[in-house]
Structure 1
Amino acid sequence: MELVQRMLAGDKRACAKLITAVENNSEEAEKILREIHRYTGNAHVIGITGPPGAGKSTLTDKIVKFLINEGKKVGIIAVDPTSPYSGGSILGDRIRMQDLALNPNVFIRSMGTRGYLGGLSKFTKNALKILDAAGYDYIIIETVGVGQSEVDIIKTADTILMVMVPGLGDDIQSIKAGIMEIGDIFVINKSDLFGADRTATEVNMMLDLNMAVERRPPVLKVVAVKNEGIDNLVLEIKNHIDYLKTSGKFEERRKNNLKIEVVELIEAELRKIVISHTDKENKLDSKVNEIINKEKNIYEVRDEFLNAIKN
């Protein structure tokens, strides 16, 4: 495919067109992903998550500038919420990082969630694979910032930065249960504000209580807008990937993520098969009526449909 060859040669416009193709779920999407598969698996994928207003975009901007100063190529996927009414997205992250967009070693793609839950877009993984194949050393995924439901990033990233700021009212609202467990590095941004030390102390206390972790995530204080603490943060990101590779966790994490992706693809195809069978001649409606009338229960109806598919 000509677009793939142009993308492999470093053509950013071809890269953008390929992402558009897979994002729109066109007929070409699977063909593209099959063709580029052998070129993937080399990028260090960094997930940046946290509540709205934590300064994730500013932090992303500073990390990227640090990495490109080291001669690295960086891809950015910034996910923004989609309006449930208009279906549109503001996609403001690209505006905030406008100066980076002109850099030949940086590629920025904004994506709307299109109603997909979990903090990412449904097509984030596909865009990630294209940037990986295009030869970007680091790919940063900035999630929506929706709170405790935002855990899909664990299925995608190698290193996850959990970003929080002091003064949000409930100081530990962003580090409850699931969110607390996905962070590889905890970043207290805007740490020049009152309450930063308290927030850092509370995060450290939560980490001390979590005895199940093999590696205790570092807790770093930064002021992204002033570029303070970014060098130390990038060092910790590199230390984390070194830890993953030397401990064998890197291969383990990627294998687990691939298992999840394969199962999700199988589920999607099975769903199409089930829908095609249940929609025939309004069979589902008639079976639902039987359930309502207590003629059958939901498990009997399930078994009937499954047996029909098998036969």
Structure 2
Amino acid sequence: MAPDVPDLVDRARQGQPRAVARLISLVEGASPQLRDVMAALAPHSGHAYVVGLTGPPGVGKSTSTSALVTAYRKRGKRVGVLAVDPSSPFSGGALLGDRIRMGEHASDPGVYIRSMATRGHLGGLSWAAPQAVRVLDAAGCDVVLVETVGVGQSEVDIASQADTSVVLLAPGAGDGIQAAKAGILEIGDVFVVNKADRDGADATVRELNHMLGLGEAREPGDWRPSIVKTVAARAEGVDEVVEALEKHHAWMAEHGVLDRRRSGRAAREVEAIAVTALRERIGDLREDRRLGALGERIAAGTLDPYTAADQLVAELTGQG
């Protein structure tokens, strides 16, 4: 039986967790009602502050996310959490352990936590994350925290999905050098050196400051990423992280960066949806052998791949 989308959206906007969960399930499952869901949510979205958290495995992302939830709840904010866990590209199975790690918030009606599997999607995020963020936004969350999988150098996708990107590092593990290699320095708006009670925390902060100083030149008034030391397990430094986030949010709003980031994010989402539709049409071509016929001509040397691709695009766009 097809879900009653308007009713689901109404109940989600009232803060009913089951309705929110059902809408996100429709998103994850690429339901035939997904277009109706997005159309119904559109007038009610665009208000939540989306914060992405990324960093190497074992740096304490889930603990930090949980601590941020507590800090925002003390400020009276409704908080949504999308915790994206690694999954097998073959079975789709995922660890989905963040609900356990954030169990202290389970009974709080002002917090909604959802674990999502990457389903083999590279870049540290689930393909459905943008639509799931929109669900939480329309459901009245003031802040949406998106915690990425701990997969290392492929986590830079978060920069295109969040208003503010938080990069977490830990002392004593060479994370600063790895961050430079991964290009994470370029995506971080706020850097958090977690587990700062360990030896080497100050050295990591100095190294980060040095690397940021070597980055591209900034004009007067440009944002310089903040660096905050925390011990998230004891909630130390978490208020300072929230202050850094609020400063970045205010700076973006003042300089028009927030609107540009959100418009760019929406444009990339449209592109991804369009590419998915084109891939489905290519699949249709495979079934009736037109794509296979092009491959055979390339293999026989009677056609080059670029001309074949032009013919395929013309076929897909109705210009052939």
- TM bin (shorter chain): over 0.9
| Cα gap change, 1:284 to 1:122, in 2 (>3 Å) | same
Q: Tell me the residue number matched to 1:282.
A: 289
Among candidates 118, 125, 134, match of residue 120 of structure 1 = 125
Q: What amino acid is aligned across from residue 138 of structure 1 in structure 2? A: V
What is the CA–CA distance in structure 1 between the aligned matches of 2:233 and 2:250, rounded to whole Å?
28
1:159 matched to 2:164? yes
Identity among equivalent positions (%) equals: 43
Matched-pair contact (CA < 8 Å) for 1:63–1:234: yes
Q: Tell me the residue number matched to 1:56.
A: 61
| Cα gap change, 1:257 to 1:84, in 2 (>3 Å) | closer
Q: Tell me the residue number matched to 2:3.
A: none
How far 1:85 sits from its partner (Å)? 4.7
Q: Tell me the residue number matched to 1:303.
A: 310
What is the CA–CA distance in structure 2 between the aligned matches of 1:10 and 1:304, rounded to whole Å?
50
What is the CA–CA distance in structure 2 between the aligned matches of 1:39 and 1:261, rounded to whole Å?
18
What is the CA–CA distance in structure 1 between the aligned matches of 2:149 and 2:194, rounded to whole Å?
17
What is the CA–CA distance in structure 2 between the aligned matches of 1:13 and 1:279, rounded to whole Å?
40
Q: Which deviations, in whole Å up to 9, do the C-alpha atoms of 1:230-277 show, x marking residues without a partner?
A: 11111111111000001111111111112222222222223333332x
Q: Which deviations, in whole Å up to 9, do the C-alpha atoms of 1:5-34 show, x marking residues without a partner?
A: 111112111111111111111111111111
The residue matched to 1:7 in structure 2 has which SS?
helix
Q: Tell me the residue number matched to 2:213.
A: 208
Q: How does 1:161-310 map to 2 (within 5 A)?
A: 161-169=166-174, 171-176=176-181, 178-213=183-218, 214-276=222-284, 278-308=285-315, 309-310=318-319
| Cα gap change, 1:122 to 1:307, in 2 (>3 Å) | closer
| Cα gap change, 1:41 to 1:80, in 2 (>3 Å) | same
Over aligned residue pairs, what C-alpha RMSD do you find? Answer: 1.5
1:43 matched to 2:52? no
Matched residue count? 310
Moved over 3 A (4+): 306-309
1:5 matched to 2:14? no
Matched-pair contact (CA < 8 Å) for 2:130–2:269: no
Q: Tell me the residue number matched to 1:132.
A: 137
Matched-pair contact (CA < 8 Å) for 1:50–1:164: yes
Q: How does 1:67-86 map to 2 (within 5 A)?
A: 67-86=72-91
What is the CA–CA distance in structure 2 between the aligned matches of 1:305 and 1:184, rounded to whole Å?
41
Single out whichever of 213-222 and 262-271 deviates more from structure 2: 262-271
Q: Name structure 1 gaps, 5 residues minimum.
A: none
Q: Tell me the residue number matched to 1:101.
A: 106
Matched-pair contact (CA < 8 Å) for 1:172–1:203: no
Q: Tell me the residue number matched to 2:115.
A: 110
What is the CA–CA distance in structure 2 between the aligned matches of 1:265 and 1:83, rounded to whole Å?
23
What is the CA–CA distance in structure 2 between the aligned matches of 1:4 and 1:129, rounded to whole Å?
12
Single out whichever of 174-183 and 119-128 deviates more from structure 2: 174-183
How far 1:209 sits from its partner (Å)? 0.7
Matched-pair contact (CA < 8 Å) for 2:154–2:182: no
What is the CA–CA distance in structure 1 between the aligned matches of 2:310 and 2:216, rounded to whole Å?
44
| Cα gap change, 1:24 to 1:280, in 2 (>3 Å) | closer
Matched-pair contact (CA < 8 Å) for 1:172–1:199: no
What is the CA–CA distance in structure 1 between the aligned matches of 2:228 and 2:180, rounded to whole Å?
15
Q: Which deviations, in whole Å up to 9, do the C-alpha atoms of 1:176-217 show, x marking residues without a partner?
A: 352110000000000111111111111110101113342110
What is the CA–CA distance in structure 2 between the aligned matches of 1:189 and 1:303, rounded to whole Å?
50
What is the CA–CA distance in structure 2 between the aligned matches of 1:97 and 1:147, rounded to whole Å?
22
What is the CA–CA distance in structure 2 between the aligned matches of 1:175 and 1:120, rounded to whole Å?
21
Q: What amino acid is aligned across from residue 184 of structure 1 in structure 2? A: D
How far 1:58 sits from its partner (Å)? 0.4
The residue matched to 1:279 in structure 2 has which SS?
helix
How far 1:169 sits from its partner (Å)? 4.0
TM-score, structure 1 as length reference: 0.95
Q: What amino acid is aligned across from residue 150 of structure 1 in structure 2? A: E
| Cα gap change, 1:281 to 1:70, in 2 (>3 Å) | closer
What is the CA–CA distance in structure 1 between the aligned matches of 2:45 and 2:238, rounded to whole Å?
28
Q: What amino acid is aligned across from residue 263 of structure 1 in structure 2? A: E
| Cα gap change, 1:210 to 1:104, in 2 (>3 Å) | same
Q: Tell me the residue number matched to 2:146.
A: 141
Matched-pair contact (CA < 8 Å) for 1:175–1:203: no
